Amino acid sequence: MGNVFGVQIPWSNIFPRCLDWILNEAKYISQLEDNLDDLQTKLEQLIEAKDDVMNRVEIAERQQMSRLNQVQGWVSRVEAVKAEADQLIRVGSQEIERLCLWGYCSKNCKSSYDFGKKVTKKLQLVETLMGEGIFEVVAEKVPGAAATERPTEPTVIGLQSQLEQVWRCLVEEPAGIVGLYGMGGVGKTTLLTHINNKFLESTTNFNYVIWVVVSKDLRLENIQETIGEKIGLLNDTWKNRRIEQKALDIFKILKEKKFVLLLDDLWQRVDLVEVGVPLPGPQSSTSKVVFTSRSEEVCGLMEAHKKFKVACLSDIDAWELFQQKVGEETLKSPDIRQLAQTAAKECGGLPLALITIGRAMACKKTPEEWTYAIEVLRTSSSQFPGLGNEVYPLLKFSYDSLPSDTIRSCLLYCCLYPEDYCISKEILIDCWIGEGFLTERDRFGEQNQGYHILGILLHACLLEEGGDGEVKMHDVVRDMALWIACAIEKEKDNFLVYAGVGLIEAPDVSGWEKARRLSLMHNQITNLSEVATCPHLLTLFLNENELQMIHNDFFRFMPSLKVLNLADSSLTNLPEGISKLVSLQHLDLSKSSIEELPLELKALVNLKCLNLEYTWSLTTIPRQLISNLSRLHVLRMFAASHSAFDRASEDSILFGGGELIVEELLGLKYLEVISFTLRSSHGLQSFLSSHKLRSCTRALLLQCFNDSTSLEVSALADLKQLNRLWITECKKLEELKMDYTREVQQFVFHSLKKVEILACSKLKDLTFLVFAPNLESIELMGCPAMEEMVSMGKFAEVPEVVANLNPFAKLQNLKLFGATNLKSIYWKPLPFPHLKSMSFSHCYKLKKLPLDSNSARERNIVISGTRRWWEQLEWVDEATRNAFLPCFDS
Report the candidate in 717, 736, 731 with the shortest Cα–Cα distance to residue 642. 731
* Range scoring the smallest mean pLDDT among 556-565, 600-609, 775-784, 789-798: 789-798
Domain at 157-309: CATH code: 3.40.50.300
- Write out pLDDT tens, residues 732-751: 999 998 877 666 666 789 99
**Cα distance between residue 581 and residue 563, in whole Å:** 10
pLDDT at 551: 94
Is 522 within 8 Å of 544 (Cβ atoms)?
Answer: yes
pLDDT at 885: 92
- Write out pLDDT tens, residues 454-482: 999 999 999 999 878 899 999 999 999 99
Task: Read off the pLDDT band of 87 (50, 70, 90).
Answer: confident
- Write out pLDDT tens, residues 218-235: 889 999 999 998 888 888
Report the candidate in 327, 376, 374, 328 with the shortest Cα–Cα distance to residue 355. 327
pLDDT at 717: 87
Helices (H), 231-306: 236-239, 243-254, 272-275, 296-301
Q: What's the average model confidence in pLDDT over 391-413?
A: 92
pLDDT at 105: 58
pLDDT at 498 over 80: yes
Mean pLDDT of the chain: 86
What is 389-490's CATH number, 3.40.50.300, 1.20.1050.10, 1.20.1560.10, 1.10.10.10? 1.10.10.10
- Write out pLDDT tens, residues 868-887: 999 999 999 999 999 999 99
pLDDT at 786 over 60: yes
pLDDT at 247: 93
Task: Read off the pLDDT band of 160 (50, 70, 90).
Answer: confident
Residue 138 identity: V
Beta bridge partners of 180: 292, 308
The residues near 173 (Cβ < 8 Å, ≥ 6 apart) are 306
Could you give the C-alpha distances from 342 to 212, 349, 354, 431, 831, in angstroms and in order?
38, 12, 12, 33, 43
Report the candidate in 459, 126, 513 with the shortest Cα–Cα distance to residue 309. 459
